[in-house]
Chain A
Protein backbone atom coordinates (compact mmCIF):
# COMPACT_ATOMS: atom_id res chain seq x y z
CA UNK A 1 0.00 0.00 0.00
CA UNK A 2 1.44 3.34 -0.94
CA UNK A 3 -0.08 5.53 1.77
CA UNK A 4 1.34 3.37 4.52
CA UNK A 5 4.88 3.78 3.33
CA UNK A 6 4.67 7.47 2.46
CA UNK A 7 3.16 8.41 5.79
CA UNK A 8 5.44 6.36 7.97
CA UNK A 9 8.76 7.18 6.36
CA UNK A 10 8.55 10.97 6.66
CA UNK A 11 7.61 10.75 10.33
CA UNK A 12 10.64 8.64 11.11
CA UNK A 13 12.95 10.52 8.80
CA UNK A 14 11.84 14.03 9.73
CA UNK A 15 11.45 13.55 13.41
CA UNK A 16 15.09 13.56 14.48
CA UNK A 17 16.33 16.21 12.06
CA UNK A 18 13.70 18.95 12.27
CA UNK A 19 12.12 18.45 15.65
CA UNK A 20 15.06 17.48 17.78
CA UNK A 21 16.89 20.75 17.92
CA UNK A 22 14.12 23.05 19.24
CA UNK A 23 12.53 20.42 21.44
CA UNK A 24 15.76 19.33 23.08
CA UNK A 25 15.65 22.37 25.36
CA UNK A 26 12.17 21.62 26.78
CA UNK A 27 12.72 18.38 28.63
CA UNK A 28 9.11 17.65 29.69
CA UNK A 29 7.88 17.25 26.14
CA UNK A 30 10.56 14.76 25.17
CA UNK A 31 8.96 11.55 26.51
CA UNK A 32 5.57 12.57 25.17
CA UNK A 33 7.02 12.96 21.75
CA UNK A 34 8.53 9.56 21.81
CA UNK A 35 5.21 8.05 22.78
CA UNK A 36 3.43 9.80 19.98
CA UNK A 37 5.87 8.53 17.45
CA UNK A 38 5.29 5.00 18.65
CA UNK A 39 1.51 5.24 18.46
CA UNK A 40 1.67 6.67 14.97
CA UNK A 41 3.56 3.64 13.78
CA UNK A 42 1.94 1.05 15.96
CA UNK A 43 -0.04 -1.61 14.22
CA UNK A 44 -3.69 -1.63 15.25
CA UNK A 45 -3.29 -4.90 17.12
CA UNK A 46 -6.85 -4.95 18.41
CA UNK A 47 -8.35 -4.48 14.95
CA UNK A 48 -6.06 -7.08 13.45
CA UNK A 49 -6.91 -9.58 16.20
CA UNK A 50 -10.65 -9.03 15.68
CA UNK A 51 -10.17 -9.50 11.95
CA UNK A 52 -8.34 -12.77 12.47
CA UNK A 53 -11.07 -14.09 14.77
CA UNK A 54 -13.68 -12.89 12.30
CA UNK A 55 -12.12 -14.79 9.43
CA UNK A 56 -11.85 -17.91 11.55
CA UNK A 57 -15.53 -17.73 12.50
CA UNK A 58 -16.53 -16.88 8.93
CA UNK A 59 -14.97 -20.03 7.55
CA UNK A 60 -15.46 -22.40 10.47
CA UNK A 61 -19.11 -23.31 9.69
CA UNK A 62 -18.33 -23.75 6.02
CA UNK A 63 -15.35 -25.89 6.94
CA UNK A 64 -17.47 -28.06 9.24
CA UNK A 65 -19.95 -28.75 6.46
CA UNK A 66 -17.21 -29.57 3.96
CA UNK A 67 -15.24 -31.72 6.40
CA UNK A 68 -18.17 -33.80 7.57
CA UNK A 69 -19.41 -34.32 4.06
CA UNK A 70 -16.42 -36.67 3.78
CA UNK A 71 -17.13 -38.42 7.06
CA UNK A 72 -17.74 -42.16 6.89
CA UNK A 73 -20.15 -41.92 9.81
CA UNK A 74 -23.36 -40.03 10.31
CA UNK A 75 -21.95 -38.01 13.20
CA UNK A 76 -21.39 -34.29 13.01
CA UNK A 77 -19.03 -34.24 15.97
CA UNK A 78 -16.67 -37.15 15.41
CA UNK A 79 -14.79 -37.47 12.16
CA UNK A 80 -14.32 -41.17 11.66
CA UNK A 81 -12.74 -41.78 8.32
CA UNK A 82 -12.54 -40.25 4.90
CA UNK A 83 -15.26 -41.55 2.63
CA UNK A 84 -17.37 -40.49 -0.31
CA UNK A 85 -20.37 -42.28 1.12
CA UNK A 86 -22.61 -39.22 1.27
CA UNK A 87 -21.74 -38.18 -2.24
CA UNK A 88 -22.81 -41.56 -3.59
CA UNK A 89 -25.93 -41.31 -1.45
CA UNK A 90 -26.61 -37.96 -3.12
CA UNK A 91 -26.13 -39.44 -6.59
CA UNK A 92 -28.65 -42.17 -5.81
CA UNK A 93 -31.28 -39.85 -4.38
CA UNK A 94 -33.71 -39.19 -7.19
CA UNK A 95 -35.68 -36.58 -5.29
CA UNK A 96 -32.60 -34.45 -4.66
CA UNK A 97 -31.37 -34.95 -8.22
CA UNK A 98 -34.74 -33.75 -9.51
CA UNK A 99 -34.41 -30.70 -7.30
CA UNK A 100 -30.92 -30.07 -8.63
CA UNK A 101 -32.20 -30.28 -12.18
CA UNK A 102 -35.01 -27.88 -11.40
CA UNK A 103 -32.67 -25.40 -9.73
CA UNK A 104 -30.36 -25.44 -12.72
CA UNK A 105 -33.30 -24.92 -15.06
CA UNK A 106 -34.68 -22.05 -13.00
CA UNK A 107 -31.27 -20.39 -12.74
CA UNK A 108 -30.67 -20.57 -16.49
CA UNK A 109 -34.09 -19.19 -17.39
CA UNK A 110 -33.89 -16.49 -14.73
CA UNK A 111 -30.45 -15.54 -15.96
CA UNK A 112 -31.57 -15.20 -19.56
CA UNK A 113 -34.82 -13.42 -18.75
CA UNK A 114 -33.39 -10.96 -16.26
CA UNK A 115 -30.47 -10.16 -18.57
CA UNK A 116 -32.71 -9.21 -21.48
CA UNK A 117 -35.05 -7.14 -19.33
CA UNK A 118 -32.32 -5.78 -17.07
CA UNK A 119 -30.11 -4.54 -19.90
CA UNK A 120 -33.10 -2.90 -21.53
CA UNK A 121 -34.13 -1.30 -18.26
CA UNK A 122 -30.61 -0.09 -17.56
CA UNK A 123 -30.35 1.47 -21.02
CA UNK A 124 -33.71 3.11 -20.50
CA UNK A 125 -32.82 4.41 -17.08
CA UNK A 126 -29.62 6.01 -18.31
CA UNK A 127 -30.79 7.30 -21.68
CA UNK A 128 -34.45 8.05 -21.35
CA UNK A 129 -35.55 11.64 -20.98
CA UNK A 130 -38.92 10.63 -19.63
CA UNK A 131 -40.10 12.07 -16.36
CA UNK A 132 -40.86 8.52 -15.28
CA UNK A 133 -37.16 7.80 -15.28
CA UNK A 134 -36.35 8.62 -11.70
CA UNK A 135 -39.54 6.95 -10.53
CA UNK A 136 -38.62 3.79 -12.43
CA UNK A 137 -35.14 3.94 -10.95
CA UNK A 138 -36.64 4.08 -7.48
CA UNK A 139 -39.09 1.24 -8.11
CA UNK A 140 -36.24 -0.87 -9.43
CA UNK A 141 -34.40 -0.51 -6.15
CA UNK A 142 -37.34 -1.65 -4.03
CA UNK A 143 -36.62 -5.40 -4.24
CA UNK A 144 -33.08 -4.77 -3.09
CA UNK A 145 -34.15 -3.14 0.15
CA UNK A 146 -37.29 -5.12 0.87
CA UNK A 147 -36.80 -8.15 3.09
CA UNK A 148 -37.08 -11.22 0.91
CA UNK A 149 -39.91 -12.65 2.94
CA UNK A 150 -42.09 -9.69 1.92
CA UNK A 151 -41.18 -10.14 -1.75
CA UNK A 152 -41.87 -13.84 -1.43
CA UNK A 153 -45.25 -13.41 0.22
CA UNK A 154 -46.21 -10.78 -2.33
CA UNK A 155 -45.22 -12.96 -5.28
CA UNK A 156 -47.06 -15.96 -3.86
CA UNK A 157 -50.24 -13.96 -3.26
CA UNK A 158 -50.05 -12.46 -6.73
CA UNK A 159 -49.81 -15.86 -8.37
CA UNK A 160 -52.57 -17.29 -6.24
CA UNK A 161 -54.73 -14.24 -6.85
CA UNK A 162 -54.36 -14.71 -10.59
CA UNK A 163 -55.32 -18.35 -10.16
CA UNK A 164 -51.89 -19.62 -11.21
CA UNK A 165 -50.83 -22.90 -9.61
CA UNK A 166 -47.41 -22.65 -8.02
CA UNK A 167 -44.84 -24.56 -10.06
CA UNK A 168 -41.42 -24.33 -11.63
CA UNK A 169 -42.74 -21.55 -13.85
CA UNK A 170 -43.80 -19.37 -10.95
CA UNK A 171 -40.37 -19.74 -9.36
CA UNK A 172 -38.79 -18.66 -12.64
CA UNK A 173 -41.07 -15.63 -12.94
CA UNK A 174 -40.40 -14.56 -9.37
CA UNK A 175 -36.65 -15.01 -9.72
CA UNK A 176 -36.55 -13.06 -12.99
CA UNK A 177 -38.42 -10.18 -11.40
CA UNK A 178 -36.08 -10.19 -8.47
CA UNK A 179 -32.87 -10.46 -10.53
CA UNK A 180 -33.66 -7.56 -12.86
CA UNK A 181 -32.69 -5.15 -10.10
CA UNK A 182 -29.22 -6.67 -9.78
CA UNK A 183 -28.56 -6.62 -13.51
CA UNK A 184 -29.75 -3.04 -13.76
CA UNK A 185 -27.72 -1.79 -10.81
CA UNK A 186 -24.56 -3.39 -12.19
CA UNK A 187 -25.06 -2.21 -15.76
CA UNK A 188 -26.37 1.26 -15.12
CA UNK A 189 -23.05 2.67 -14.03
CA UNK A 190 -21.25 0.99 -16.91
CA UNK A 191 -23.67 2.46 -19.42
CA UNK A 192 -23.35 5.88 -17.86
CA UNK A 193 -19.57 5.57 -18.14
CA UNK A 194 -19.72 4.79 -21.87
CA UNK A 195 -18.69 7.50 -24.22
CA UNK A 196 -21.87 8.47 -26.10
CA UNK A 197 -19.81 9.97 -28.91
CA UNK A 198 -18.72 6.52 -30.07
CA UNK A 199 -22.30 5.54 -30.67
CA UNK A 200 -23.00 8.87 -32.34
CA UNK A 201 -20.01 8.32 -34.58
CA UNK A 202 -21.36 4.93 -35.57
CA UNK A 203 -24.65 6.53 -36.52
CA UNK A 204 -22.85 9.27 -38.43
CA UNK A 205 -21.22 6.48 -40.40
CA UNK A 206 -24.61 5.22 -41.41
CA UNK A 207 -25.51 2.74 -38.71
CA UNK A 208 -29.10 2.62 -37.64
CA UNK A 209 -29.96 2.97 -33.97
CA UNK A 210 -30.35 -0.75 -33.69
CA UNK A 211 -27.08 -1.46 -35.45
CA UNK A 212 -25.28 1.00 -33.21
CA UNK A 213 -26.70 -0.76 -30.19
CA UNK A 214 -25.82 -4.20 -31.47
CA UNK A 215 -22.40 -3.42 -32.92
CA UNK A 216 -21.11 -0.74 -30.58
CA UNK A 217 -22.91 -0.46 -27.27
CA UNK A 218 -23.56 -4.09 -26.40
CA UNK A 219 -20.02 -5.28 -27.21
CA UNK A 220 -18.69 -2.51 -24.99
CA UNK A 221 -20.94 -3.75 -22.19
CA UNK A 222 -20.13 -7.41 -22.75
CA UNK A 223 -17.80 -7.90 -19.76
CA UNK A 224 -20.35 -6.45 -17.36
CA UNK A 225 -23.18 -8.40 -18.96
CA UNK A 226 -21.28 -11.68 -18.68
CA UNK A 227 -20.29 -10.93 -15.11
CA UNK A 228 -23.85 -10.16 -14.09
CA UNK A 229 -25.05 -13.28 -15.91
CA UNK A 230 -22.77 -15.46 -13.82
CA UNK A 231 -23.69 -13.58 -10.69
CA UNK A 232 -27.43 -13.93 -11.31
CA UNK A 233 -27.02 -17.63 -11.96
CA UNK A 234 -25.28 -18.09 -8.62
CA UNK A 235 -27.75 -15.88 -6.74
CA UNK A 236 -30.81 -17.60 -8.15
CA UNK A 237 -29.36 -21.06 -7.69
CA UNK A 238 -28.67 -20.30 -4.05
CA UNK A 239 -31.85 -18.36 -3.38
CA UNK A 240 -34.03 -19.83 -0.72
CA UNK A 241 -36.72 -17.49 0.55
CA UNK A 242 -38.27 -16.44 -2.75
CA UNK A 243 -38.12 -20.02 -4.05
CA UNK A 244 -39.67 -21.27 -0.83
CA UNK A 245 -42.73 -19.07 -1.22
CA UNK A 246 -43.26 -19.52 -4.95
CA UNK A 247 -42.52 -23.19 -5.50
CA UNK A 248 -45.08 -25.91 -5.98
CA UNK A 249 -44.93 -29.30 -4.37
CA UNK A 250 -42.88 -31.28 -6.84
CA UNK A 251 -40.15 -30.80 -7.83
CA UNK A 252 -38.84 -28.26 -5.34
CA UNK A 253 -35.70 -26.14 -5.74
CA UNK A 254 -32.60 -27.61 -4.14
CA UNK A 255 -32.37 -24.96 -1.43
CA UNK A 256 -35.97 -25.60 -0.40
CA UNK A 257 -35.25 -29.31 -0.28
CA UNK A 258 -32.23 -28.65 1.93
CA UNK A 259 -34.35 -26.49 4.17
CA UNK A 260 -36.93 -29.18 4.81
CA UNK A 261 -34.16 -31.73 5.33
CA UNK A 262 -32.30 -29.75 7.98
CA UNK A 263 -35.51 -28.86 9.76
CA UNK A 264 -36.22 -32.47 10.48
CA UNK A 265 -32.85 -33.51 11.81
CA UNK A 266 -29.36 -34.02 10.53
CA UNK A 267 -28.96 -35.77 7.24
CA UNK A 268 -25.34 -36.08 6.19
CA UNK A 269 -26.30 -36.16 2.53
CA UNK A 270 -27.05 -32.49 3.00
CA UNK A 271 -23.40 -31.91 3.87
CA UNK A 272 -22.41 -33.38 0.53
CA UNK A 273 -25.02 -31.39 -1.39
CA UNK A 274 -24.12 -28.27 0.56
CA UNK A 275 -20.44 -28.74 -0.19
CA UNK A 276 -21.12 -29.10 -3.90
CA UNK A 277 -23.35 -26.01 -3.84
CA UNK A 278 -20.73 -24.00 -1.98
CA UNK A 279 -18.02 -25.09 -4.40
CA UNK A 280 -20.22 -24.24 -7.37
CA UNK A 281 -21.24 -20.83 -6.06
CA UNK A 282 -17.74 -19.88 -5.01
CA UNK A 283 -16.48 -20.85 -8.43
CA UNK A 284 -19.16 -18.77 -10.14
CA UNK A 285 -18.58 -15.72 -7.93
CA UNK A 286 -14.85 -15.85 -8.54
CA UNK A 287 -15.60 -16.13 -12.25
CA UNK A 288 -17.98 -13.15 -12.08
CA UNK A 289 -15.31 -11.09 -10.34
CA UNK A 290 -12.64 -12.21 -12.79
CA UNK A 291 -14.50 -11.73 -16.09
CA UNK A 292 -14.04 -7.97 -16.37
CA UNK A 293 -10.32 -8.41 -15.72
CA UNK A 294 -10.07 -11.09 -18.38
CA UNK A 295 -11.30 -8.46 -20.78
CA UNK A 296 -8.51 -6.20 -19.69
CA UNK A 297 -10.71 -3.53 -18.29
CA UNK A 298 -10.71 -2.12 -14.84
CA UNK A 299 -13.80 -1.73 -12.69
CA UNK A 300 -16.16 -3.81 -14.78
CA UNK A 301 -18.00 -5.38 -11.89
CA UNK A 302 -17.64 -3.59 -8.63
CA UNK A 303 -19.51 -5.44 -5.95
CA UNK A 304 -18.08 -3.31 -3.23
CA UNK A 305 -18.93 0.30 -3.79
CA UNK A 306 -22.00 -0.21 -5.92
CA UNK A 307 -20.98 2.93 -7.74
Chain B
Protein backbone atom coordinates (compact mmCIF):
# COMPACT_ATOMS: atom_id res chain seq x y z
CA UNK B 1 0.00 0.00 0.00
CA UNK B 2 1.22 3.40 -0.80
CA UNK B 3 0.65 5.82 2.02
CA UNK B 4 1.17 9.05 0.17
CA UNK B 5 3.97 11.24 1.44
CA UNK B 6 3.16 14.81 2.31
CA UNK B 7 1.21 16.16 -0.63
CA UNK B 8 3.24 18.83 -2.35
CA UNK B 9 0.57 21.04 -3.75
CA UNK B 10 1.15 23.55 -6.48
CA UNK B 11 0.43 26.53 -4.27
CA UNK B 12 4.06 27.11 -3.36
CA UNK B 13 4.99 27.75 -6.96
CA UNK B 14 2.34 30.40 -7.18
CA UNK B 15 3.92 32.51 -4.50
CA UNK B 16 7.50 32.96 -5.59
CA UNK B 17 7.80 36.33 -3.89
CA UNK B 18 7.06 34.90 -0.50
CA UNK B 19 9.57 32.10 -0.47
CA UNK B 20 12.79 33.01 1.31
CA UNK B 21 15.54 34.32 -0.98
CA UNK B 22 18.29 31.79 -1.78
CA UNK B 23 20.64 33.07 0.86
CA UNK B 24 17.97 33.20 3.52
CA UNK B 25 16.63 36.40 4.95
CA UNK B 26 19.22 38.97 5.90
CA UNK B 27 19.39 38.71 9.64
CA UNK B 28 21.93 38.36 12.41
CA UNK B 29 22.44 34.64 12.24
CA UNK B 30 24.06 34.35 15.64
CA UNK B 31 20.89 35.62 17.27
CA UNK B 32 18.29 33.95 15.15
CA UNK B 33 19.16 30.55 13.80
CA UNK B 34 17.54 29.50 10.58
CA UNK B 35 13.89 28.75 11.03
CA UNK B 36 13.07 31.42 13.55
CA UNK B 37 10.62 34.00 12.32
CA UNK B 38 11.43 37.66 12.17
CA UNK B 39 8.71 39.56 13.91
CA UNK B 40 7.32 42.68 12.38
CA UNK B 41 4.23 43.82 10.60
CA UNK B 42 3.71 42.97 6.98
CA UNK B 43 0.28 42.66 5.39
CA UNK B 44 1.53 40.57 2.47
CA UNK B 45 0.67 37.29 4.12
CA UNK B 46 -2.87 38.39 4.79
CA UNK B 47 -3.38 39.63 1.24
CA UNK B 48 -1.90 36.36 -0.01
CA UNK B 49 -4.95 34.68 1.48
CA UNK B 50 -7.04 36.24 -1.25
CA UNK B 51 -5.44 33.78 -3.66
CA UNK B 52 -8.30 31.75 -5.15
CA UNK B 53 -6.31 28.57 -4.59
CA UNK B 54 -6.59 29.09 -0.83
CA UNK B 55 -10.27 29.82 -1.16
CA UNK B 56 -10.69 26.48 -2.90
CA UNK B 57 -8.92 24.65 -0.09
CA UNK B 58 -10.90 26.52 2.55
CA UNK B 59 -14.21 25.83 0.85
CA UNK B 60 -13.23 22.19 0.44
CA UNK B 61 -12.40 21.96 4.13
CA UNK B 62 -15.73 23.53 5.02
CA UNK B 63 -17.49 21.11 2.69
CA UNK B 64 -15.73 18.05 4.09
CA UNK B 65 -16.38 19.16 7.66
CA UNK B 66 -20.07 19.76 6.91
CA UNK B 67 -20.50 16.41 5.18
CA UNK B 68 -18.69 14.80 8.09
CA UNK B 69 -21.17 16.43 10.47
CA UNK B 70 -24.14 15.17 8.47
CA UNK B 71 -22.83 11.61 8.27
CA UNK B 72 -21.99 11.67 11.96
CA UNK B 73 -25.56 12.80 12.68
CA UNK B 74 -26.94 10.00 10.52
CA UNK B 75 -24.80 7.44 12.35
CA UNK B 76 -25.08 8.88 15.84
CA UNK B 77 -28.87 9.23 15.98
CA UNK B 78 -29.62 5.52 15.60
CA UNK B 79 -26.71 4.52 17.82
CA UNK B 80 -27.59 6.97 20.59
CA UNK B 81 -31.27 6.05 20.27
CA UNK B 82 -30.64 2.32 20.45
CA UNK B 83 -28.32 2.62 23.43
CA UNK B 84 -30.26 5.23 25.39
CA UNK B 85 -33.69 3.67 24.91
CA UNK B 86 -32.94 0.00 24.44
CA UNK B 87 -29.57 -0.39 26.12
CA UNK B 88 -31.10 -1.56 29.37
CA UNK B 89 -28.50 -2.42 31.96
CA UNK B 90 -25.81 -2.56 29.28
CA UNK B 91 -26.13 1.17 28.61
CA UNK B 92 -23.05 2.30 30.48
CA UNK B 93 -21.03 -0.61 29.22
CA UNK B 94 -21.93 0.18 25.61
CA UNK B 95 -21.08 3.85 25.99
CA UNK B 96 -17.77 2.97 27.62
CA UNK B 97 -17.10 0.62 24.70
CA UNK B 98 -17.48 3.62 22.39
CA UNK B 99 -15.53 6.10 24.50
CA UNK B 100 -12.54 3.93 25.39
CA UNK B 101 -11.13 3.30 21.90
CA UNK B 102 -11.74 6.94 21.10
CA UNK B 103 -9.35 7.98 23.84
CA UNK B 104 -6.79 5.49 22.62
CA UNK B 105 -4.22 6.75 20.17
CA UNK B 106 -5.78 8.74 17.37
CA UNK B 107 -2.95 8.07 14.92
CA UNK B 108 -3.02 4.33 15.42
CA UNK B 109 -6.77 4.24 14.92
CA UNK B 110 -6.55 6.38 11.79
CA UNK B 111 -3.75 4.22 10.49
CA UNK B 112 -5.78 1.06 11.11
CA UNK B 113 -8.75 2.64 9.37
CA UNK B 114 -6.64 3.51 6.33
CA UNK B 115 -5.44 -0.09 6.21
CA UNK B 116 -9.04 -1.32 6.34
CA UNK B 117 -10.11 1.08 3.60
CA UNK B 118 -7.21 0.09 1.40
CA UNK B 119 -8.01 -3.60 1.83
CA UNK B 120 -11.52 -2.98 0.79
CA UNK B 121 -10.76 -2.84 -2.91
CA UNK B 122 -13.34 -0.09 -3.27
CA UNK B 123 -10.78 2.56 -4.11
CA UNK B 124 -11.89 4.83 -1.32
CA UNK B 125 -8.37 5.95 -0.58
CA UNK B 126 -7.05 8.93 -2.49
CA UNK B 127 -10.54 10.37 -2.84
CA UNK B 128 -12.62 12.91 -0.99
CA UNK B 129 -14.78 10.05 0.26
CA UNK B 130 -11.71 8.55 1.88
CA UNK B 131 -10.94 11.82 3.68
CA UNK B 132 -14.52 12.15 4.90
CA UNK B 133 -14.50 8.50 6.00
CA UNK B 134 -11.40 9.23 8.04
CA UNK B 135 -12.94 12.32 9.61
CA UNK B 136 -16.14 10.48 10.45
CA UNK B 137 -14.20 7.64 12.02
CA UNK B 138 -12.05 10.07 13.96
CA UNK B 139 -14.77 12.26 15.39
CA UNK B 140 -18.13 10.45 15.36
CA UNK B 141 -17.81 9.86 19.08
CA UNK B 142 -18.12 13.61 19.67
CA UNK B 143 -21.57 13.38 18.10
CA UNK B 144 -22.73 10.25 19.88
CA UNK B 145 -21.95 11.41 23.40
CA UNK B 146 -23.95 14.66 23.48
CA UNK B 147 -26.79 13.03 21.56
CA UNK B 148 -26.82 10.14 23.99
CA UNK B 149 -26.86 12.55 26.92
CA UNK B 150 -29.79 14.42 25.33
CA UNK B 151 -31.72 11.20 24.72
CA UNK B 152 -31.08 10.07 28.28
CA UNK B 153 -32.59 13.30 29.55
CA UNK B 154 -35.48 13.13 27.13
CA UNK B 155 -38.90 12.30 28.50
CA UNK B 156 -39.59 8.94 26.84
CA UNK B 157 -43.30 9.26 27.45
CA UNK B 158 -43.20 11.80 24.61
CA UNK B 159 -42.34 8.95 22.26
CA UNK B 160 -45.19 6.89 23.68
CA UNK B 161 -47.45 9.86 23.15
CA UNK B 162 -46.31 10.14 19.55
CA UNK B 163 -47.13 6.49 19.01
CA UNK B 164 -50.47 6.86 20.76
CA UNK B 165 -51.28 9.60 18.29
CA UNK B 166 -50.73 7.09 15.51
CA UNK B 167 -47.34 8.38 14.46
CA UNK B 168 -45.27 5.76 12.70
CA UNK B 169 -41.72 5.14 13.89
CA UNK B 170 -40.28 7.57 11.35
CA UNK B 171 -42.78 10.32 11.99
CA UNK B 172 -42.46 9.95 15.74
CA UNK B 173 -38.73 10.14 15.38
CA UNK B 174 -38.83 13.24 13.17
CA UNK B 175 -41.48 15.16 15.07
CA UNK B 176 -40.78 14.06 18.64
CA UNK B 177 -37.29 12.66 19.14
CA UNK B 178 -35.37 15.04 16.90
CA UNK B 179 -36.84 18.28 18.30
CA UNK B 180 -36.39 17.02 21.86
CA UNK B 181 -32.71 16.27 21.27
CA UNK B 182 -31.95 19.25 19.06
CA UNK B 183 -29.54 20.84 21.49
CA UNK B 184 -27.52 17.67 21.85
CA UNK B 185 -27.31 17.43 18.08
CA UNK B 186 -26.20 21.05 17.80
CA UNK B 187 -23.50 20.55 20.44
CA UNK B 188 -22.37 17.41 18.65
CA UNK B 189 -22.14 19.25 15.34
CA UNK B 190 -19.89 21.88 16.88
CA UNK B 191 -17.73 19.24 18.54
CA UNK B 192 -17.34 17.35 15.26
CA UNK B 193 -16.99 20.37 13.02
CA UNK B 194 -14.18 22.08 14.92
CA UNK B 195 -11.65 19.25 14.96
CA UNK B 196 -12.67 18.11 11.47
CA UNK B 197 -11.82 21.55 10.09
CA UNK B 198 -8.39 21.51 11.69
CA UNK B 199 -7.49 17.90 10.95
CA UNK B 200 -4.65 17.08 8.61
CA UNK B 201 -4.04 13.42 9.34
CA UNK B 202 -7.12 12.14 7.56
CA UNK B 203 -6.40 13.99 4.33
CA UNK B 204 -2.80 12.87 4.50
CA UNK B 205 -3.47 9.18 5.06
CA UNK B 206 -6.64 8.83 3.05
CA UNK B 207 -6.71 11.61 0.48
CA UNK B 208 -4.68 12.44 -2.56
CA UNK B 209 -3.03 15.75 -3.43
CA UNK B 210 -6.39 17.00 -4.69
CA UNK B 211 -8.09 16.54 -1.35
CA UNK B 212 -5.83 18.59 0.91
CA UNK B 213 -7.56 20.54 3.64
CA UNK B 214 -6.55 23.77 5.31
CA UNK B 215 -4.82 21.79 8.06
CA UNK B 216 -2.51 20.21 5.48
CA UNK B 217 -1.78 23.62 4.05
CA UNK B 218 -0.83 24.98 7.47
CA UNK B 219 1.30 21.95 8.24
CA UNK B 220 3.01 22.25 4.88
CA UNK B 221 3.80 25.92 5.37
CA UNK B 222 5.42 25.19 8.71
CA UNK B 223 7.28 22.00 7.92
CA UNK B 224 7.95 21.78 4.21
CA UNK B 225 7.48 25.28 2.87
CA UNK B 226 9.25 26.96 5.79
CA UNK B 227 6.94 29.90 5.24
CA UNK B 228 5.84 30.50 8.80
CA UNK B 229 4.20 33.89 8.34
CA UNK B 230 1.95 32.50 5.64
CA UNK B 231 1.23 29.45 7.80
CA UNK B 232 0.26 31.78 10.62
CA UNK B 233 -2.00 33.75 8.32
CA UNK B 234 -3.71 30.54 7.25
CA UNK B 235 -4.13 29.54 10.90
CA UNK B 236 -5.72 32.92 11.55
CA UNK B 237 -8.05 32.36 8.65
CA UNK B 238 -9.10 29.00 10.07
CA UNK B 239 -9.67 30.55 13.49
CA UNK B 240 -11.75 33.39 12.10
CA UNK B 241 -13.97 31.01 10.15
CA UNK B 242 -14.46 28.79 13.20
CA UNK B 243 -15.03 31.77 15.47
CA UNK B 244 -17.80 33.05 13.21
CA UNK B 245 -19.33 29.58 13.27
CA UNK B 246 -19.15 29.48 17.07
CA UNK B 247 -20.81 32.88 17.33
CA UNK B 248 -23.65 31.61 15.20
CA UNK B 249 -23.96 28.53 17.40
CA UNK B 250 -23.93 30.54 20.62
CA UNK B 251 -26.57 32.96 19.34
CA UNK B 252 -28.70 30.04 18.32
CA UNK B 253 -28.44 28.27 21.67
CA UNK B 254 -29.15 31.51 23.51
CA UNK B 255 -32.32 31.86 21.50
CA UNK B 256 -33.22 28.25 22.24
CA UNK B 257 -32.65 28.77 25.94
CA UNK B 258 -34.66 31.96 25.95
CA UNK B 259 -37.53 30.13 24.26
CA UNK B 260 -37.28 27.28 26.70
CA UNK B 261 -37.35 29.70 29.62
CA UNK B 262 -40.48 31.37 28.38
Contact = CB atoms under 8 A, between A and B. Distances in A.
A36 B163 contact: yes
Contacts of B140: 54
Interface in B162-208: 163-164, 166, 168-169, 190, 194-195, 197-201, 204-205
Q: Chain B at the A interface: mostly helix, strand, loop or mixed?
A: helix
Contacts of A31: none
A259 B107 contact: yes
B116 to A, nearest CB: 5
B87 A1 contact: yes
Interface in B146-164: 148-149, 156-157, 160, 163-164
Interface size bracket, B side: 35 or more
Interface stretch (B91-99, B122-130, B254-262): B91-99
A234 B78 contact: no
A54 to B, nearest CB: 5
A1 B91 contact: yes
Contacts, number: 198
Given A39-B163, A51-B82, A61-B115, A149 B104 contact: no
Contacts of B232: 153, 157
A58 B218 CA distance: 29
A50 B81 CA distance: 10
A150 B155 CA distance: 39
B247 interface: no
Given A1-B91, A4-B88, A265-B3, A289 B108 contact: no
Contacts of B195: 147-148
Contact of B108 (A40, A146, A163, A274): A274
Contacts of A263: 3, 5-6, 204
12 contacts: A1-B88, A1-B91, A40-B160, A51-B82, A60-B112, A148-B195, A149-B199, A262-B205, A266-B1, A266-B3, A285-B99, A304-B99
